[in-house]
Amino acid sequence: QEQLVESGGGSVQAGGSLRLSCEASTYAYSRYCMGWFRQAAGKEREAVAVIYTGSGYTEYADSVKGRFTISRDNAQNTLYLQMNGLKPEDTAMYYCAADGSYCPIGRGGPMYNYRGQGTQVTVSS
Protein backbone atom coordinates (compact mmCIF):
# COMPACT_ATOMS: atom_id res chain seq x y z
CA GLN A 1 0.00 0.00 0.00
CA GLU A 2 2.69 2.49 0.95
CA GLN A 3 5.34 1.18 -1.41
CA LEU A 4 8.37 3.26 -2.34
CA VAL A 5 11.10 1.83 -4.57
CA GLU A 6 14.29 3.77 -5.22
CA SER A 7 16.69 3.38 -8.13
CA GLY A 8 19.47 5.29 -9.83
CA GLY A 9 22.22 5.10 -7.28
CA GLY A 10 25.78 4.24 -8.22
CA SER A 11 29.40 5.31 -8.12
CA VAL A 12 30.61 8.56 -9.63
CA GLN A 13 33.60 10.83 -9.39
CA ALA A 14 33.45 14.15 -7.62
CA GLY A 15 31.78 16.75 -9.78
CA GLY A 16 29.58 14.19 -11.50
CA SER A 17 25.81 13.81 -11.55
CA LEU A 18 23.22 11.18 -10.74
CA ARG A 19 19.45 11.13 -10.85
CA LEU A 20 17.62 9.09 -8.28
CA SER A 21 14.10 7.85 -8.97
CA CYS A 22 11.43 6.67 -6.58
CA GLU A 23 8.42 4.80 -7.90
CA ALA A 24 5.61 5.17 -5.41
CA SER A 25 2.27 3.54 -4.84
CA THR A 26 -0.69 5.83 -5.32
CA TYR A 27 -1.16 5.92 -1.58
CA ALA A 28 2.41 6.98 -0.84
CA TYR A 29 2.54 9.42 -3.72
CA SER A 30 -0.56 11.24 -2.48
CA ARG A 31 0.81 11.88 1.00
CA TYR A 32 1.14 15.49 2.14
CA CYS A 33 4.85 15.65 1.38
CA MET A 34 7.64 13.53 -0.05
CA GLY A 35 11.36 13.81 0.24
CA TRP A 36 14.80 12.27 0.18
CA PHE A 37 16.83 11.27 3.21
CA ARG A 38 20.42 10.12 3.34
CA GLN A 39 22.32 8.13 5.92
CA ALA A 40 26.08 7.81 5.83
CA ALA A 41 28.06 5.46 8.02
CA GLY A 42 28.68 7.03 11.40
CA LYS A 43 26.71 10.16 10.57
CA GLU A 44 23.33 11.50 11.55
CA ARG A 45 20.43 10.95 9.20
CA GLU A 46 19.70 14.00 7.03
CA ALA A 47 16.61 14.99 5.08
CA VAL A 48 18.11 16.73 2.05
CA ALA A 49 15.09 17.65 -0.07
CA VAL A 50 11.33 17.87 0.36
CA ILE A 51 8.44 18.62 -1.97
CA TYR A 52 4.89 19.33 -0.84
CA THR A 53 2.25 17.50 -2.83
CA GLY A 54 -0.44 20.18 -3.01
CA SER A 55 1.64 23.31 -3.61
CA GLY A 56 4.77 21.89 -5.20
CA TYR A 57 6.81 23.90 -2.71
CA THR A 58 10.34 22.58 -2.32
CA GLU A 59 12.86 22.87 0.46
CA TYR A 60 16.52 21.84 0.66
CA ALA A 61 19.13 21.26 3.30
CA ASP A 62 21.93 23.81 3.21
CA SER A 63 24.39 21.02 2.42
CA VAL A 64 22.80 20.40 -1.00
CA LYS A 65 21.19 23.72 -1.87
CA GLY A 66 22.04 24.78 -5.41
CA ARG A 67 23.26 21.30 -6.36
CA PHE A 68 20.25 19.00 -5.86
CA THR A 69 16.77 19.35 -7.35
CA ILE A 70 13.70 17.43 -6.24
CA SER A 71 10.80 16.95 -8.63
CA ARG A 72 7.71 14.83 -9.28
CA ASP A 73 6.16 13.19 -12.34
CA ASN A 74 2.48 12.87 -11.49
CA ALA A 75 1.74 10.75 -14.57
CA GLN A 76 4.25 8.15 -13.37
CA ASN A 77 3.83 8.47 -9.58
CA THR A 78 7.57 9.01 -9.50
CA LEU A 79 9.73 11.25 -7.35
CA TYR A 80 13.18 12.32 -8.54
CA LEU A 81 16.33 13.75 -7.07
CA GLN A 82 18.72 15.28 -9.58
CA MET A 83 22.15 15.53 -8.00
CA ASN A 84 24.78 17.67 -9.66
CA GLY A 85 28.22 18.71 -8.51
CA LEU A 86 28.51 15.64 -6.32
CA LYS A 87 31.07 15.66 -3.52
CA PRO A 88 32.63 12.79 -1.55
CA GLU A 89 30.62 13.92 1.47
CA ASP A 90 27.43 13.14 -0.47
CA THR A 91 28.29 9.45 -0.20
CA ALA A 92 25.41 7.76 1.63
CA MET A 93 22.42 5.50 1.33
CA TYR A 94 19.57 7.59 -0.06
CA TYR A 95 15.98 6.91 0.89
CA CYS A 96 12.74 8.11 -0.64
CA ALA A 97 10.14 8.91 1.99
CA ALA A 98 6.63 10.27 2.41
CA ASP A 99 4.54 11.56 5.26
CA GLY A 100 0.97 12.58 5.82
CA SER A 101 1.59 15.63 7.94
CA TYR A 102 5.16 16.74 8.59
CA CYS A 103 8.33 16.71 6.54
CA PRO A 104 11.15 18.52 8.34
CA ILE A 105 14.40 19.20 6.51
CA GLY A 106 17.94 18.82 7.76
CA ARG A 107 19.67 16.65 10.36
CA GLY A 108 18.23 15.10 13.45
CA GLY A 109 14.57 15.18 12.55
CA PRO A 110 12.21 12.22 12.61
CA MET A 111 12.06 9.78 9.72
CA TYR A 112 8.93 10.24 7.68
CA ASN A 113 6.14 7.67 8.09
CA TYR A 114 6.88 5.76 4.89
CA ARG A 115 10.20 5.06 3.26
CA GLY A 116 11.81 2.78 0.69
CA GLN A 117 14.73 0.39 1.00
CA GLY A 118 17.30 2.87 -0.21
CA THR A 119 19.83 3.20 -3.01
CA GLN A 120 23.56 3.66 -2.45
CA VAL A 121 25.42 6.69 -3.79
CA THR A 122 29.21 6.67 -3.68
CA VAL A 123 31.27 9.68 -4.74
CA SER A 124 35.01 9.28 -5.11
CA SER A 125 37.53 12.10 -5.04
With a CB cutoff of 8 Å and minimum separation 6, the contacts of 104 are 47, 110
| 61-113 pLDDT per residue, tens | 999 999 999 999 999 999 999 999 999 999 999 999 999 898 999 998 888 99
- How much is the pLDDT for 1? 62
- Given a cut of 70, whether residue 19 has pLDDT beyond it is yes
With a CB cutoff of 8 Å and minimum separation 6, the contacts of 66 are none
